[in-house]
Structure 1
Amino acid sequence: MDSKWWPQPAYRTMGSMAMNEDEDDFEFERRFFCRDLPRELLGESRPTLIVQSYYVHEDNFALRVRLQGQVDPVVPMTARTDALHTLLEEGDHFDAASMTAKGPSVGGTRYEAERAIDPGIALELILRGGIPIVKNRYGVWLDEDWWNLDVFGDGNTPLVVAEVERTGPVTDLTIPDFCATEITDDPRFSNDGLADHPFGDWATDFDRELKANGPRFLTNFDGNRES
Structure 2
Amino acid sequence: MDDFEYERRFFCREMPPQLDDGDAPTLIVQSYYVHADNYALRIRLQTRKARVPMTRDTDPLDVLEQCRDLFSQAFVTIKGPAVGGTRYEAEREIDTRVAVELVRRGGEIIIKNRYSAWIDEDGWNIDVFGGSNAPLVIAEAERSSPVTNLAIPSFCVTEVTDQARFSNDGLASNPYAAWEGEFERELAEHGPQFQQVFGRNRIRHTVR
Q: Match of 2:157? A: 180
Distance 1:40 1:164 in 2: 18
* Alignment pair present for 1:205 and 2:185: no
CA-CA distance at 1:80 after TM superposition = 0.9
Q: Match of 2:30? A: 52
Letter of the 1:148 counterpart: N
Letter of the 1:138 counterpart: Y
* Alignment pair present for 1:133 and 2:110: yes
Distance 2:172 2:113 in 1: 15
CA-CA distance at 1:36 after TM superposition = 1.0
Classify the secondary structure of the residue corresponding to 2:2: helix
Q: Match of 1:40? A: 18
CA-CA distance at 1:130 after TM superposition = 2.0
* Alignment pair present for 1:87 and 2:56: no
Q: Match of 1:195? A: 172
Asked if the contact 1:95/1:119 (under 8 Å) is kept, the reply is: yes
Distance 1:70 1:98 in 2: 15
CA-CA distance at 1:155 after TM superposition = 0.3
Asked if the contact 1:45/1:138 (under 8 Å) is kept, the reply is: no
Alignment map for 1:26-175 (pairs within 5 Å): 26-72=4-50, 74-175=51-152
Query: Taking structure 1 as the reference length, what is the TM-score of the superposition?
Result: 0.88
State the structure with more CA Rg: 1
Classify the secondary structure of the residue corresponding to 2:78: strand
Distance 1:105 1:86 in 2: 30
Deviation string 1:150-175 (CA, Å, 9 cap, x unpaired) is 00000000000000100000001000
Identity among equivalent positions (%) equals 59
Task: Tell me how many residue pairs correspond in the alignment.
Answer: 204
Query: Over aligned residue pairs, what C-alpha RMSD do you find?
Result: 0.9
Distance 2:140 2:70 in 1: 25
CA-CA distance at 1:185 after TM superposition = 0.7
CA-CA distance at 1:129 after TM superposition = 2.2
Distance 1:77 1:55 in 2: 24
CA-CA distance at 1:70 after TM superposition = 1.2
Deviation string 1:82-112 (CA, Å, 9 cap, x unpaired) is 1111100111110100000000000000000
Distance 1:111 1:206 in 2: 27
Show structure 1 runs of 5+ residues with no match: 1-22
